Amino acid sequence: MKVLDPPNSKESEMMVLGCMLTDSNAMSIAAISLEEPYFYYAQHKIIFRALKSAHRADKAGDIYLISEELKNQQKLDEVGGIAYLTTLAQFAGTSAYIEEYLSILKTKMKLRKLLDTAKALETSALKSDIDADILVRQYRESLDKLVELDEGILIPSPYTYKNLLTDLSQTREGLKTGYPSLDKIIEIPQGAITLVAGRPSHGKTITQLNLLIKMIKLYPQLHFYFFSYEEPKSQILLKILNILAEDVIDESHNLSNIEGYLRGGHKTRSKLDAAAIELQSLTESGRLIISDHSYYVDDLCLVVSKIKKRFGDRLGAVFIDYIQKIKIKYKYPTRQLELQKISSEILETAKSQNLPIVLGAQLGRGTGKKEVLRLDNLREAGDIENDAKLVLGIWNQAKDEADSRDEMQKGRIVDLEFVVLKNRNGPSNQSIFLEFDKPLSMLKEKIKEDLFSRKDLKS
C-alpha cells in the first residue's frame, strides 16, 4: 500500500517564498506570521530561515543577497542553487493574496501536528499499563498546545505591582497642543491615534499644520514627520512658511504671493525672510520632515517603524493627512472593511512604537453641526472612531453658511469650533473656539472672549 505524505502544499510554500523574494510587504507579513515548522520541505525551511534573518536585520529579500547568505552558510546547493531561488521568484503569485497563502500553510501544519498527536496517542494506548484517564488528560493538553501554536495564543505571565511602577516610570507624557484652551481639556496621547476630523475645507489640514508647528516650538529636542496624501510637499511647506511668517502680502492670495516672492529671490520683507531661515533650519536639521509619497498602509507603517527605530524617544509625533486617502494592497468587499484594516494597522504601529499619530479624517455630509459632528459620521467609518483615543471634530460655521448660499466664504478671520468627540483621558463633548486667520493659514487663541469657552453639544 502506498504511504501518503503528511499534509502539505508545495505550491503554497513556493508562493509564500516567491512573494517574500519579490515584495517587501509580503516579506514583512510572512516573516512576522510564520516560523520554520509551517514549511514541510527541508529546502523551503532553509530559504525561509535566511529570509526571516534578513527581515530581522532590516534587509531586503533580494535573490542575490539571499543566495550570498546561503552560500556563506554552505546551504545554497542544498536548496537547489540560485536557479531555484529564481524559480521561486517567477513562481510567485500576487502578493495581494499573501494572507491566503499563509492560511494554507498554517492549515497544513496544523494537520501534521494533529497526525503526530494522534500517533502518539495510539502508541500510548497500546501499552497495557496505561491509565485511561491520564491518557485522556495528556491528549487534551496536547490539543491545547496545538491550538496555542496555531493561533499564536500566549498565556499571560503575572503582572505585578513592581511591573506597574516600572512601566509608569518609563511612560512618556502626552504632548501639549500649544493652545492653552485646548491643553486644559486634552493632550495628544502617546502610543495612540488622535483623529482630527472635519468636512472638506473646514480646516482639518490647517489644524494639523498648526498643531505641528506649535509642537515643534514647544519641544525643540524632538523631530516631527508629516505625511501628506492630499497636497504636494511644496504646498505643505509654503503653508508652514505662511504660518511661521505671520506676514500678510495680500489677503486674498497670500500663498501665491509668497510663492512669487520666493521665486523672485526678494529680500525685502523681514518677517518672511526670518521665517524662511527658520524653516530652512527645521528642514535641514531633520526636525521637520514632509513626505507626499502615497505609501500603501503596510509600507507606511513599516516606514514609521523605521523612523522610530532611527530617532527613538527623539521622535515627537507623526501626522498623516488623511486616512481616507491611504491605499491598501489587499482586496476587500467594501471600503468600510478596507478602512477598518487601515485603521487597525496604524493603531498597532502607534501602540508598538509608543508613538503619537495624529491622523486626519473626513466627516460625512449632514445638515448642521449636530448632524455632522458625530463619531458615526466619519466617512466610510470602518473602526476609525473605535481605534482612536482622542477625536477632535472641526466645525467652520462661516464655511457652512457660505456653502448653503453657494457663495465664497467672506471675512479674514473666522471662528473654528473644536468639539472633543472622544477623549479617553478626560472630558468629551466640550467645545473650544479658536480664531482662523485665513490669509496666514493660522489658528490663534481668541482674544475678545474668554480663552476657555465650553459648550455642550446637546445645548
Per-residue pLDDT reduced to its tens digit, 194-216: 999 998 888 999 999 999 999 99
pLDDT of residue 184: 93
Find the mean pLDDT for residues 240-253. 94
Q: What is the CA 76 to chain-centroid distance, rounded?
A: 37
Better-predicted residue by pLDDT, 132 or 224:
224
pLDDT digits (tens, 9 = 90+) for 428-449: 889 999 999 999 999 999 875 4
Give the separation between CA 243 and CA 238, rounded to whole angstroms.
Answer: 9
What percentage of residues in the chain have a pLDDT greater than 70? Answer: 90
pLDDT at 457: 44
Domains in the chain, start-ordered, CATH in brackets? Answer: 10-151 (1.10.860.10), 180-445 (3.40.50.300)
Over residues 227-236, the mean pLDDT reads: 95
pLDDT of residue 77: 93
pLDDT for 176 beyond 60: yes
Residue with cell string 520666493 = 262
* Highest-confidence segment of 45-59, 157-171, 263-277: 263-277
- Binning pLDDT at 50, 70 and 90, where does residue 145 land? low
The residue-averaged pLDDT of 44-73 equals 88
Residue 150 has pLDDT above 60, yes or no: no
Measure the CA–CA gap between 57 and 63, rounded to whole angstroms: 16
Other C-beta atoms within 10 Å of 87: how many? Answer: 14
Q: Which residue has the higher pLDDT, 132 or 268?
A: 268
pLDDT of residue 459: 37
Query: For residues 98 and 25, what is the distance between their CA atoms, to the nearest angstrom?
Result: 9
Model confidence at 450: pLDDT above 60:
no
Q: What is the pLDDT of residue 380?
A: 62
Q: Tell me which DSSP letter residue 123 carries.
A: H
| pLDDT given for residue 8 in this prediction | 92
Query: Which residues face 288 on adjacent strands?
Result: 224
* Gyration radius (Cα) of the chain, Å: 28
Contact assessment for residue 124 and residue 138, using Cβ atoms and an 8 Å cutoff: yes
Residue 267 grid cell? 529680500
For 99, residues 6+ apart whose C-beta sits below 8 A from its C-beta are 29, 330
pLDDT at 458 over 70: no
Report whether 296 contacts 329 (CB < 8 A): yes
**pLDDT at residue 389 tops 60:** yes
> Dihedrals φ, ψ of 228, to 5°?
-105, 125
pLDDT of residue 381: 56
Give me the pLDDT at residue 3, please. Answer: 64
Q: What spatial distance separates the first Cα and last Cα of the chain, rounded to whole Å?
A: 81
Residue 232 near residue 325, CB atoms below 8 Å:
no
* pLDDT at res. 152: 47
pLDDT at 153: 43
Question: How many percent of the chain have pLDDT more than 90?
Answer: 50
| pLDDT confidence of residue 118 | 84
Judged against a pLDDT cut of 50, whether residue 154 lies above it is answered with no
pLDDT for residue 201: 85
Q: Which three cell numbers stand for residue 418?
A: 473644536
Distance CA 54, CA 222 (A): 30
**Mean pLDDT of all residues belonging to the chain:** 86
At residue 408, φ and ψ (nearest 5 deg) are -75, 145
Cell numbers 490647517 label which residue? Answer: 206
Extract the C-alpha cell encoding 144.
491545547
- Angle separating helix axes 24-33 and 98-125, nearest 10 degrees: 20
Q: Model confidence at 382, in pLDDT bands (50, 70, 90)?
A: low
User: In the beta sheet, which residues pair with residue 393?
Assistant: 197, 419
Give the pLDDT confidence score for residue 442 in this predicted structure: 95
User: What local confidence, expressed as pLDDT, does residue 249 receive?
Assistant: 93
Residue 102 pairs with which residues in a beta bridge? none
Residue 139 has pLDDT above 80, yes or no: no
Q: What is the mean pLDDT of residues 286-311?
A: 92
Predicted confidence at residue 182, as pLDDT, reads: 95
